Structure 1
Amino acid sequence: MSSILELPSMSRRSLLQGLSATAALIVLHPFAARAASNQAHLRLMETTDIHVNVFPYDYYADKPNDTMGLSRTATIIDNIRAEATNSLLIDNGDVLQGNPMGDYMAYQHGMKDGDVHPVIKAMNTLGYEVGTLGNHEFNYGLDFMFKVLGGANFPFVCANLTKGQLASDPKKDDLFFKPYLIVEKKIKDGAGNENTIKIGFIGFVPPQIMLWDVKNLEGKAQTRDIVEAAKAWVPVMKEEGADIVIALSHSGIDGSGPADKMENASLYVAAVPGIDAIFTGHQHLVFPGPKTWDGIKDADPVKGTLHGKPAVMAGFWGSHLGLIDLLLEKDGKSWKIVDFTSEARPIYHRDDKKKVIADVADKKEVVEAAKAEHEATLTYVRTPVGKTSAPLYSYFALVADDPSVQVVSQAQIWYIKNMLKETQYKDLPVLSAAAPFKCGGRNGADYYTDVPAGNIAIKNVADLYLYPNTVQAVVINGAQVKNWLEMSAAMFNQVQPGAKDADLINNSFPSYNFDVIDGVTYQIDISQPRRFGDDGKVLNADANRIQNLQFDGKPIDPAQKFLVVSNNYRAGGGGNFPEIASDKVVYQAPDTNRDVIVRYVHDQGTINPTADGNWTFKPLPGTTVLFQSSPKAKDFLAQVKSVKIEEAGEGSDGFHNFRLVL
C-alpha cells in the first residue's frame, strides 16, 4: 500500500502538479483592488477541526483521500494570501485528536520533553497568528494538551475554561489561557501606505467538555457559558483599544434559542455587542452553504452572516479554508468595517459522477514537517491494537445475528454508558442500534467484512464501520422501539408459509438501514407484509412483523423509556425511520463511531464479538427461502447457531446461493 508520500502513479502526480500551476493564476479580491487611501482590505483565514489530518490520507482505510489534509489546505492558504493586501491565519480548534496519528502520538510515541507534535510542526510552517481550543484537545488529558500546545509558535486564547470553580464575575475567573489577544498589525491601505490596526481575538470551547472528558477534567477544570464569557470580556477588549473583535468560537450554529452552557452557541455569540466577525466550527459543516441552515432566524447562509455579522465555518479535516474579507475604513484614529464577504473555499470538488477531484497539490513544507510521524502512523495502523476471540464477518448479517454488528453495538453501549453516567439519563435502560454495511449487493461478492480471530489492527475497524458517522443517542419509548424494528424488517420480502426456496432479500432496501437493536430480543415474521414504506409512512397498519419483542425477559412495555445509541445519520432522520429524528436526540457525541470502536478494542484488550442471537426469524414450518452471499461464506456455516442455513449452489455474478430453513 502506497503512502501519500509515494503517489501511486505518474498520472496522479502530473495531475496535482498541474493543479499547482493553475493555482498560480491569482486575482485580487475586489476589496483589495478598490480600497481608497483611507481604506484597507483585511483577509481573515480559518482552519478548523483538522483532527490531526495533516495528510490527505485515510489511515482507517489505509489509502489516500483527496477530501482531507492540511497539506492541501496549506496550498489554498498560499493562493488566498496572494489575493489579499493584508491577511491573518487563525485556527479554531480540534487539532490534537481524531485520527490514528493522534492516537499514535498519545499512546505510542508519548511526546517526550522537547518533542513537537506533527500537527503543530505542520501548523508552524504556515504562519498562524492565534488559535483557540476545541473539545478534542482534552481527550488525552491536560498534561498532554499543554505539552503539545507548548510546541506551537503562536498563542492560544480561551475565555471560558477555568482552573477551578467559577468566580462571581467572569473577569475574575482563574483561566488556563489568556481570554483574548490584541494584535497590533501593520496593514497597507489603498494607497500603499502602512497603518496600524488593533485586532482582538477571543476564544471559546464548548462547556460540554466537562461531560465528554470528565475523567480528565473533573476536579481540575470548569467551564463557563460561552455567551456569558463573551459579554464579560468583549467590553474589556474594546476598552484596551481593539478596533475590531474576532470571535474564535469552537461552537456550532443552533437556532433553537439561547440556553445556559449551550454547546452550539455561535449564533448568540454573534449577537454580543462589540463582536465584529465570528469563526465557527465543531459541527463539521460548511457555512455559508446551502440547506443545512435554512430556517434559522438571524442566520444568512447565502451572504454568510450571523446577526448581520460575517461568519464562516470551514468544514473539517482540512476540507475547506474559511475566509472573511473585510473592507476597513479609518474613522479618526480607529478603524471600522464598511463591507465584508464570507466564503468557505474547498480543496476538492466532485464531477458529474460524484467522483472526488483534487483542486490543489500538497504543500511540500507541510508534508516534510510531519513525514516521519506519518510513516510511523502507517506502521501503527497496520499493527495490532487488540485481539478478537472470534472472527468478524458479515456473510450472514442479513439473515442472522452477526458478530460484525455485535461488536459495534458492544462498543456503542460501552461508550454511551460511560459518557452519560453522570447525567439525567444514567438510569435509563440502554439499547444499541447498528446495521451491517458490507453485505455484497451491488458492490459484488467480495464486499463483506472478514477479519479472522486473533490480532485486530486499527485499519480493520474500517471493515467494521465504513462511514465517519458520529455517535448520537435518542430517548424513545417501547412502542417506538418496535416501530424502529418494523422499519428495519422491510429488508425482507413477504413469504407465504409453506413456500419452497422463495426469494428472501428485498434488494431495493439498503443494508445500512437494516438496524439490529441489541438489548432486546425479538423475532421477525416474514409471512406478514411490511408495516412501513421507504418513506416511513404506514403501508399496512395491522402488520406486525416484529414478534415476541422482549426487554429483560418480559414483553416490552410500550410506554417505557429507553436510551438508544446509534449514529448521527439515523438519529437525525436518515432512512425515514418513523418518529426517529433530531427532536429525539439527547446526546450528540464528539466522537466518530469508528473511533469509539478503536477505543473499545484498546480498552478491552481482547473483544468477544460472538453474536448473542437476540433476534431470529419466527418459525414457518415447511418453509424455505434463498439468499445470496460470498462463496467464502461456506467456511462459516458451522459458526451460525441461531438459524439453519444450507448451501444451495452457485449464484449469479460470483455469488453463492444459500437456503434458510424456517
Structure 2
Amino acid sequence: MTQDDQDATGTQEEAGDQPGVTGRLRVLATSDVHSHLLGFDYYADQEHPGIGLSRTAQLIAEARKEAAEAGDIAVLLDNGDWLQGSPLAEPALATDSALAPAIHAFEVLGYDAVGLGNHEFNYGLSALSRVLSALPCPAVSSNITPLSADDTLPVHKHLILTRHFRRATGGQDGVAEVKIGLLSVLPPQTMLWDADHLAGRLHVDDMLRSAKAAISDLRASGADVVIALAHTGEGDDTARDGMENALRPLSRLPGLDAAIGGHTHLLLPPPDGSGRDWEIPVVMPGSGGSHLGVIDLGLRQTPQGWRVEGGSAALRAVAHQTRDGLRPVVSEAPDLVLALRDVHEQTRAEMAAKVGTLSEAHHSYFTYFAEDRALALIATAQAAAVQPMLLKSEYADLPLLSAVAPAKFGGRAGPLNYTDVPPGEISRRHVADIYSYPNELRCIIVNGHQVRDWLEMSAGLFNQLEPDADARLLADPARPGHNFDVIFGLQYEIDPREHARFDAEGRRLHEGPGRIRNLQWNGRPMHGDQQFAVAFNSYRSSGGGNFRMLMDAPGLPLPPQMIRDVVGAYVASAHDLSAVFPAPWRFSPDLGVDAIALTGPGARRHLHELPENVARSATELDTGFLALKLRL
C-alpha cells in the first residue's frame, strides 16, 4: 500500500509480498454514489468537499497509475445505487430522451462493469432498461428474474472480464490471460420497496443462493478469480433465507476471492481499525463518492491456471474531517466536471425556481428530541393532499393522521447531512432539502393497535437509557433515522427507559409496557378498535423499514403524486403555513436519565430554540458532529 491509502486499514497480507506471486489484480470499487457525481450540494447550492465521483476520480487515476507502473491489472467496478439520489439525476430521468448523468461519468472514468442496487428500480423498469441500454460498460445482476420476456433487463447474470498480464511468465509472446468473474446481488426486499414498479414483473431471489450458483457457473466457465458486487450490508454471521444484509455469510462462500459491500453506506475496513476479520478481502466504500475501495489480489500462475495468493483491502478518502470541518484531500477531475457542466447548470437553474415563502427556519438538527417544523410541514401537506380523496371514499368518517420520518439526520452520511432551510423566499432546492426522497403519497387504514405498534417500532430508534447511569447516545446508530416515523394528529410520549418492543427487522422482542405512553387522539386515550386513515409514503407502504404491523392493511387509492411535489404545491398555494400540525410527541417528563444527542455544526445557529442548559452543553467532536447533553 502507498501513502495515498488514506483512512486505510489493510486486511490479509499484502498481495505483492507473497512468495511465488507472478502478478497482481487491483480492484477499484465505488458504491452507493447516488448520482453525487460532482462535489456539489444542490440543496445548499454550494460546493461539498466530502462527496462527488469527480473527487473519487482523482483517487482512481492515482490507483490506476500505481498498478500500471507495477505491471499489474486494474479493473474499476461500481456496486449499485448509482442512478438515484442527487437532484443532478432528476432532469434526465424525467424525460425519455436525455442520458442519465451517471452514464457520462462511467464513460469518462472508464468503468469495467457495474452492479445494480435497490434504488436503481425507483423509477420503474422502463426507465431502468433505457438507462442500462445506454451504459458504456456491462451491468451485472445475479439475483433478478423477469416474470415475462417484456420485462427482461439488459443485464448479465454473471460476467467474465478477460485481461492480460504482459510481465507474467508463460503465455504467448510474454502475455498471460486472466479471467475475472463477476457476480452481483441486491436485497430481495427490493420487491417490497418498489412493489409499485415490480409486482408481477420481476422477482428478486435470495442473495446467498444466487451468489453460490453464480460462483459455481463462473468457475465452470473458467474464471480464475471471482469477485462479488454485493449490494448488502455486513449483517449477521448466520445465513438465513431472505437476508437484507448478508455480506458476512456471503464472504464465506467457497470459491469467492473478494467482495465489495454496500447498501448501508458504512466504511469497510473501518478507519479506526475496529471490526472483525474477514476471510477474504472486503471493502465497503461509504456513499456519495466519499471513498474509493482498493482490493489487491496476488496471483500465481500454475499449470492449472491462476491462483489467488493473498490479498489486501483498503479505503482511500476524498476528504478528512478536521476541527474546522471537512477538508478535501483531492481536487475534482477536470474532465468529469467538463462532461457534466451543462447538466450541472441545468440542475442548479431548476432547483432555483421560486416556490413560496416560509416565515420560520425549517431544519432537522433537533429532530430526535425537539420540534421539527420541516416534518410538521410535510405532514400537513400530505394530509391536505389526501383529504379530498378521503372525503369521497368509504372511509370519509375516519380521522386523518399523517406519518413522516426525517430524511436528513446526520448518521452515516455525516455532520452536514441535515435539512436547513432559512426563513424567507424558498425555491425548489429548499423543498428538496425538506423532502429529498422520490417517494409517492399513500394512505393506509389502520386501527389503534396497529398505530401503537407503529409508534413502538419507530421508538426503537432510541437506545435504552438507565437512571443514574453515565450518559449514552440517545439514538442507536444501527437504526436508520428514516425509520423514525412521527405520526401527526396524535399526542403521545416516549419513555426510552423501557426495552424496545421491536428490533430493526420488525420482530417483536418484548411484551412489556413498551415505550409509548399517554397515546391520545383528540385529547382522549386511543382505543385499540378505533380506526384511522394515515397519509404516509410509498417506501413505507411497500414494506420499507420492516413495519410488519402495516402488512395487509387496506389502502385508499390515490392518484400518483410525488411527496416533494405535494409539499411544494402546499407552500405555493399560499396556505397559512403557521397552521401546521402541532408537534405530536415528547419524552415522558422527569425520567431521571442523561443522554447525548448528536447533531450537525449548523445547529449552532439554532441553539436558541433549546433550553439554555442544553444549548450551553454543545461540544464539537472530532467527527465533525456537535454533541448536546440532555437531561430527560
Q: 1:292 to 1:97 in 2, by over 3 A?
A: farther
Q: Name the counterpart of 1:635.
A: none
Distance apart, 1:600 and its partner CA:
1.1
Q: 1:406 to 1:244 in 2, by over 3 A?
A: same
Q: One-letter code of the match for 2:299?
A: L
Distance apart, 1:284 and its partner CA:
0.8
Query: Given that residues 188 and 242 in structure 2 are in contact (C-alpha distance below 8 angstroms), is that contact kept between their aligned partners in structure 1?
Result: yes
Q: Judge which range, 221-230 or 70-79, deviates more.
A: 221-230
Q: Do structure 1's residue 602 and structure 2's residue 565 form an aligned pair? A: yes
Query: Given that residues 437 and 465 in structure 1 are in contact (C-alpha distance below 8 angstroms), is that contact kept between their aligned partners in structure 2?
Result: no
Q: Do structure 1's residue 366 and structure 2's residue 353 form an aligned pair? A: no
Task: Measure, in 2, the Cα distance between the counterparts of 1:268 and 1:259.
Answer: 9
Q: Which blocks of at least 5 consecutive residues in structure 2 are unaligned?
A: 386-400, 411-418, 438-449, 466-473, 476-480, 501-515, 538-544, 551-560, 587-603, 607-632
Q: 1:433 to 1:565 in 2, by over 3 A?
A: farther
Report SS of the residue matched to 1:606: helix
Q: Do structure 1's residue 181 and structure 2's residue 159 form an aligned pair? A: yes
Distance apart, 1:225 and its partner CA:
0.9
Q: One-letter code of the match for 1:54?
A: L
Task: Measure, in 2, the Cα distance between the counterparts of 1:94 and 1:198.
Answer: 26
Distance apart, 1:255 and its partner CA:
0.9
Deviations 1:221-246 (A, max 9, x none): 11111111122222121111111111
Q: 2:64 aligns with which of 48, 60, 81?
A: 81
Q: 1:251 to 1:549 in 2, by over 3 A?
A: closer
Q: Do structure 1's residue 286 and structure 2's residue 267 form an aligned pair? A: yes
Q: Do structure 1's residue 344 and structure 2's residue 312 form an aligned pair? A: no
Task: Measure, in 2, the Cα distance between the counterparts of 1:24 and 1:345.
Answer: 5
Q: Name the counterpart of 1:105.
A: 92
Query: Given that residues 47 and 318 in structure 1 are in contact (C-alpha distance below 8 angstroms), is that contact kept between their aligned partners in structure 2?
Result: yes
Q: 1:410 to 1:89 in 2, by over 3 A?
A: farther
Query: Given that residues 382 and 567 in structure 2 are in contact (C-alpha distance below 8 angstroms), is that contact kept between their aligned partners in structure 1?
Result: no
Q: Do structure 1's residue 225 and structure 2's residue 206 form an aligned pair? A: yes
Q: Which blocks of at least 5 consecutive residues in structure 1 are unaligned?
A: 1-21, 167-172, 295-299, 416-428, 439-446, 468-474, 491-508, 525-529, 537-545, 568-581, 588-597, 618-629, 633-662
Query: Given that residues 394 and 436 in structure 1 are in contact (C-alpha distance below 8 angstroms), is that contact kept between their aligned partners in structure 2?
Result: no
Q: 1:400 to 1:185 in 2, by over 3 A?
A: closer
Task: Measure, in 1, the Cα distance between the counterparts of 2:351 and 2:185.
Answer: 33
Q: 1:105 to 1:151 in 2, by over 3 A?
A: same
Deviations 1:355-394 (A, max 9, x none): 211111111111111111011111111124x667x75545
Query: Given that residues 489 and 581 in structure 2 are in contact (C-alpha distance below 8 angstroms), is that contact kept between their aligned partners in structure 1?
Result: no
Q: Name the counterpart of 2:246.
A: 265
Distance apart, 1:220 and its partner CA:
2.0
Percent of aligned pairs with the same amino acid: 29
Distance apart, 1:585 and its partner CA:
9.7
| Larger RCO, structure (CA 8 Å, separation 6 or more) | 2
Q: One-letter code of the match for 2:258?
A: A
| TM-score, normalised via structure 2 length | 0.64
Distance apart, 1:98 and its partner CA:
0.1
Query: Given that residues 15 and 310 in structure 2 are in contact (C-alpha distance below 8 angstroms), is that contact kept between their aligned partners in structure 1?
Result: no
Q: 1:164 to 1:614 in 2, by over 3 A?
A: same
Q: One-letter code of the match for 1:95?
A: W
Q: 2:32 aligns with which of 5, 28, 49?
A: 49
Q: One-letter code of the match for 1:100?
A: P
| TM-score, normalised via structure 1 length | 0.62
Q: Name the counterpart of 1:421.
A: none
Q: 1:215 aligns with which of 196, 219, 228?
A: 196
Query: Given that residues 382 and 402 in structure 2 are in contact (C-alpha distance below 8 angstroms), is that contact kept between their aligned partners in structure 1?
Result: no
Q: 1:145 aligns with which of 123, 128, 131?
A: 128
Query: Given that residues 227 and 265 in structure 1 are in contact (C-alpha distance below 8 angstroms), is that contact kept between their aligned partners in structure 2?
Result: yes
Task: Measure, in 1, the Cα distance between the counterparts of 2:182 and 2:379.
Answer: 42
Distance apart, 1:601 and its partner CA:
2.7
Q: Name the counterpart of 1:621.
A: none
Task: Measure, in 2, the Cα distance between the counterparts of 1:344 and 1:585.
Answer: 37
Report SS of the residue matched to 1:159: coil
Deviations 1:81-112 (A, max 9, x none): 122222111111111110111122222xx141
Query: Given that residues 212 and 253 in structure 2 are in contact (C-alpha distance below 8 angstroms), is that contact kept between their aligned partners in structure 1?
Result: yes
Query: Given that residues 476 and 561 in structure 1 are in contact (C-alpha distance below 8 angstroms), is that contact kept between their aligned partners in structure 2?
Result: no
Matches within 5 A, 1:21-60: 39-60=22-43
Deviations 1:445-488 (A, max 9, x none): xx9854458x64123443x4799xxxxxxx99579869969x99
Query: Given that residues 185 and 197 in structure 1 are in contact (C-alpha distance below 8 angstroms), is that contact kept between their aligned partners in structure 2?
Result: yes
Deviations 1:290-310 (A, max 9, x none): 68974xxxxx3xx5x2xx111
Q: Name the counterpart of 2:115.
A: 132
Q: Name the counterpart of 1:627.
A: none
Distance apart, 1:195 and its partner CA:
1.2
Q: Do structure 1's residue 612 and structure 2's residue 599 form an aligned pair? A: no
Q: Name the counterpart of 1:322.
A: 293
Q: 1:123 to 1:602 in 2, by over 3 A?
A: same
Q: 1:332 aligns with which of 297, 303, 309?
A: 303
Task: Measure, in 2, the Cα distance between the counterparts of 1:460 and 1:480.
Answer: 26
Distance apart, 1:178 and its partner CA:
1.6
Report SS of the residue matched to 2:263: coil
Q: Name the counterpart of 2:229.
A: 248
Query: Given that residues 387 and 601 in structure 1 are in contact (C-alpha distance below 8 angstroms), is that contact kept between their aligned partners in structure 2?
Result: no
Task: Measure, in 1, the Cα distance between the counterparts of 2:451 and 2:252.
Answer: 35
Q: Aligned residue pairs: how many? A: 488
Matches within 5 A, 1:545-560: 549-551=519-521, 554-556=524-526
Q: One-letter code of the match for 1:102?
A: A
Q: One-letter code of the match for 2:262?
A: G
Deviations 1:31-90 (A, max 9, x none): 686577761111111011111111100101111011001111010011111222221111
Matches within 5 A, 1:10-25: none
Q: 1:234 aligns with which of 184, 204, 215?
A: 215
Q: One-letter code of the match for 1:202?
A: L
Q: Name the counterpart of 1:356.
A: 326
Matches within 5 A, 1:449-464: 449-452=421-424, 456-462=427-433, 464=434
